[in-house]
Amino acid sequence: MRFGISGMPPEGIGDDEFLDGLAARGHRAYELAFVHGFPWKEDRCERFGAAAAERDIRLSIHAPYFAILTSDDPEKAVHTRSALEHTMKLGRAMGARVVVAHTGYTKGRSAEDLHALAAASLEAIEPKVRHLGVALGLETTGTERAFGTLGDIALIASGFGFVRPVVDWAHVHAMSGGGLTTAGAFDSVIGFLREHFPGWAIDPLHCQFTDNLFGPKGEIRHVPYGEGTLRVGPLVEAAVRTGLRMTLISEAHDEGSHDRIHGDVEAALAAARPAADEAGTRPLGSGAVAFPGGVRLVPDGDAWAPVGAVRPLRLRNPDKVFFPADGYTKGDLLQYYASVAPVLLPHLEGRAVVMSRYPEGADGPSFYEKQAPGHRPDWLPVAPLWSEHRGEPIEFVTTPDVESLLWMVNLGAIEIHPWLSRAVLPDVPTQAVFDLDPAEGAGWEQVSLVGGLVRLALERLGLEGHPKTSGATGLHVYVPLAPEHDYVRVRRFVETVGRTIVGAAPELATMEWDIPARAGKVFIDHNQNVAGKTIASVYSVRPRPGAPVSTPLTWDEVAGADPDAFTIATLWDRLARYGDLFAPVLAGTQRLERAEEALGIG
């Protein structure tokens, strides 16, 4: 739990002196209160952010109070949206993880109208902010006049990957009529958060705390800590018991309250029994990585069962080392996939999956398995797809839920390889893929240059592509498509674009099948766009040292990216900042007719 305070540095005190003072008091977070406007420019934010990073003080910004989502006056809406956008740009300059904002006031409007206004505002700013690496945190309401219960925020966040909940515990306390007096009451709120938000969006949970007075319509005012009925100890107890990490910002108006809240946090942390001491359970992972949404296990004969699993699932050998160079275990691999499931599963939905199995770990022998094994559980659905080679259907595994995903990983499937088409239309891919593979003598710089040429070609053809690291040395560019083009057509499109790029930059790219002839160049492999051939999924782990992950990038990041930096241990801050950068790939509506005509292959 990181504890910090909200405010602005006093005039006349240098950043280093101010931040050293925070660190000396044990504060590891600070929320800049830009609540009335923009007192700092980007260069000032950059300097402060760099100094805070040196001291491991996590920063956030509270946006101006007028920067709301629900203005129904068109002129004011432009102003409020611009304020949100500007605050998030300042947050990027500062290195902040989250910008906190209010959603707005009800003013007699219906919930449907308020949600529509919020959605319109977010749709307007999304293209400008979704790649900033700063989350927009919507603060829970404290009065009946304001819009933004946790349920409202959950509904809004479901449609926008850069939106997060910010829980103001004083507001929740007021709106519940003073209900947050026990650890069990806090447990209930944490349970709601866990049910309605993915782990990476709430772990760590950004939240605010102070004491308050309230009445029938909600919060009346903040009061010095101890004068009201809200205490931080039960919150800490609940957070420890449920394994939820937090950044807790004191919004008290006096230094004494800051200190008393902080003191109660430290005392409660010292008194709370670690979750690992719970009788009869153990964590799934080894503890080498702080995964969000940690799974706990109970013994089940000669195996282990995840606590709270919806379907019967038995996991074996969680302590077996799977990545010897790093000490990561099979349990760490399983926990990674359990934690990343909210963003991974939509990309696997309805698709046949080929298992790339490493039963002895990343350094051991491996094999691909298409046919679902006979010992699969009855509840695991399969996709029977016709095989010309076999002369009969192959029953492929599918992964509609976290239990099916973990069952597959439990077999040693380090990599996840889905089809490019859905099982209901197996001959019609929903994505075209440019697989950029550096041959010997070519490095990431060349890969990024060829990736830039792919991007340029697609833009000239009126199409949008989305890059991700392969998880190894290459780059994958996905072009989301409406499910109306067969594999032959998609493969021909990718091949034609590839050959155009090779013709324009023969010193960089090649499509030579003779491997020695590729030396020093980036191979553009169009043959991945064939029915039955698969490629490592977004968020798939790869069997290499460090346990790297195939990770979405923004185009601005490609040139300076280090593919080895995205691993099962480091992905979480990125997801918390960006959400799923590959979400647009799921909404495939692009068609190839105009591009084919321009390329002369219509």
Q: What is the pLDDT of residues 75-124, one digit of tens each?
A: 999 999 999 999 999 999 999 999 999 999 999 999 999 999 999 999 99
CA 235 – CA 169 distance, rounded (Å): 9
C-beta neighbour count of 123 within 10 angstroms = 11
**Could you give the residue ranges of the DSSP H alpha helices within 95-209?**
111-129, 150-157, 169-175, 183-196, 199-202
Confidence of residue 174 (pLDDT cuts 50, 70, 90): very high
Domains in the chain: ranges and CATH: 2-277 (3.20.20.150), 282-418 (3.90.920.10), 431-599 (3.90.920.10)
Q: Work out whether strand 246-250 and strand 211-215 pair parallel, antiparallel, or are unpaired.
A: unpaired
Q: What angle do CA 138, 143, 148 make, to 5 degrees?
A: 25
Q: Work out whether strand 98-101 and strand 58-62 pair parallel, antiparallel, or are unpaired.
A: parallel
CA 487 – CA 500 distance, rounded (Å): 20
Confidence of residue 199 (pLDDT cuts 50, 70, 90): confident
What pLDDT score does 275 carry? 46
CA 45 – CA 94 distance, rounded (Å): 5
| Distances from the Cα of 252 to the Cα of 212, 311, 398, 507, angstroms | 9, 45, 51, 62
Rounded to an integer, the average pLDDT of 66-72 is 95
Asked if residues 118 and 131 have their Cβ atoms less than 8 Å apart, the reply is no
CA 49 – CA 29 distance, rounded (Å): 12
CA 236 – CA 258 distance, rounded (Å): 16
Q: What is the pLDDT of residues 374-402, one digit of tens each?
A: 899 999 999 999 888 888 999 999 999 99
Contacts of 214 (CB under 8 A, 6+ apart): 142, 173, 174, 177, 178, 220
Helix (H, G, I), strand (E, B) or coil at 314: coil
Q: What is the pLDDT of residues 431-445, one digit of tens each?
A: 999 999 999 999 999
Contacts of 126 (CB under 8 A, 6+ apart): 160, 162
Helices (H) and strands (E) in the chain, counts: 18, 25
| Distances from the Cα of 50 to the Cα of 16, 78, 94, 95, 592, angstroms | 10, 31, 7, 8, 46
Asked if residues 276 and 320 have their Cβ atoms less than 8 Å apart, the reply is no
pTM of the predicted structure, to 2 decimals: 0.85
Half-sphere CA count of 366, side-chain side, radius 13 A: 18
Confidence of residue 276 (pLDDT cuts 50, 70, 90): very low
Q: What is the pLDDT of residues 501-531, one digit of tens each?
A: 999 999 999 999 999 999 999 999 999 999 9
Residue with tokens 């016709």: 386
What pLDDT score does 253 carry? 92
Report residue 441 as tokens.
């003598």
Rounded to an integer, the average pLDDT of 255-270 is 95
C-alpha 197, offset from chain centre: 11
Half-sphere CA count of 314, side-chain side, radius 13 A: 9
Rounded to an integer, the average pLDDT of 241-248 is 90
DSSP conformational letter for 384: E
Find the farthest-apart pair of alpha carbons in the chain and give their distance in angstroms, rounded: 80
Identity of the amino acid at 435: D
